[in-house]
Amino acid sequence: MATLAPMKEEDGRRPRPRPVGFRSIAGERSPVALSALIEGEIIPRLMVAHHAATPAVAPGTAHEIDARDIAALAPMTLEVEADVLLAHVQGLMTRGISIDSVLIDLLAPTARLLGEWWEADRCDFVEVTMGLWRLQEVVHEICDGAPPTLRAAPRPKALFAAMPGDQHSFGAVIVDELFRRNGWSTDRWIGEAAAGLQERVRMHRFDLIGLTISCDCHIAALPPLIADLRTVSRNPKVSVMVGGRVFVEDPSLATSVGADGTARDARLALSVATHLVRARAGEVADAD
């Protein structure tokens, strides 16, 4: 059964899961799926940068993330609760670390390192699952604690989803938060059946649909899915972007599957999405 992400509250934020007493979903995800999650979903989406304001610091005092910071954070994700992780990350930010750097240079490598430890049998599946969930809580807190970029109404609206059947949460949270912080109105969908995703697109108007896949084994199912989403979309000019490791390796596949674009460098993801939506809006204006 598809699991639909809750709709936004009045302040634009989603209801948050409780940070204590989280029950691991390890029994519902295979080790192979976990590896695909880390390498195919979490890391690429963490690399989607945003233009968050950097805390004001004195010249020459900014601290850059290095291997020691990653080595310190990774074991903490397995040993302490999310609030302790948050305090640690906030301590780095007070020394001049921007939200961009936290997401790209700290949390992404930490997630990758957890995957490497699991493959080397340094930690088990449950520990890695809990570690990733705690990192997700840190993402929520640091993004909610910093004001998003103000944008004049109307704001573009985006829906982010993985291929139906791909189970993930951390990556969707990251990309959703980053676009939201840059003035987008965002929603996300996680589920098993394509019909659930199509229903979301049919019921709500979106300017952009962002789809990710974790491996090329899903490529064959992507063209018909994109075609169906365009057919049922309440917005006949909806833009579709695709992402994931397979598109980084071969960007030309984006056109082949029927998408409007992808981003070879994830730092371009926001600008590509903005360009696509503006271009489609121009087409509508010209038609009028």
Give the tens place of pLDDT for each residue, 66-101.
999 999 999 999 999 999 999 999 999 988 888 877
Q: How many CB atoms are closer than 10 A to CB 205?
A: 12
Alpha-helical (H) ranges within the chain are 31-36, 43-46, 67-79, 82-93, 99-101, 108-119, 125-144, 170-181, 194-203, 222-232, 245-249, 253-256, 269-287
- Per-residue model confidence (pLDDT) at position 254: 94
Which domains does the chain carry? 54-144 (1.10.1240), 157-287 (3.40.50.280)
- Per-residue model confidence (pLDDT) at position 95: 84
> What whole-number distance in Å separates Cα of residue 28 and Cα of residue 41?
17
- Per-residue model confidence (pLDDT) at position 225: 97
| pTM of the entire predicted model | 0.64
Name the token pair of 181.
């912080």
- Per-residue model confidence (pLDDT) at position 120: 87
3-state helix, strand, coil in the chain (%, to 5): 55, 10, 40
Q: How do beta strands 157-162 and 208-212 pair?
A: parallel
Helix (H) or strand (E) holding 208: strand 208-212
Cβ(254)–Cβ(247) under 8 Å? yes
Angle at 163 between CA 155 and CA 210, to 5 degrees: 20
User: Could you tell me which residues come within 8 angstroms of residue 61 by beta carbon, excluding any fewer than 6 positions away?
Assistant: 95, 96
State which residues of the chain have pLDDT below 70.
Answer: 1-63, 145-153, 166-174, 214-215, 264-267, 283-288
Strand pairing partners for 243? 212
Say what angle helices 222-232 and 194-203 make with each other, to 10 degrees.
30
- Per-residue model confidence (pLDDT) at position 105: 83
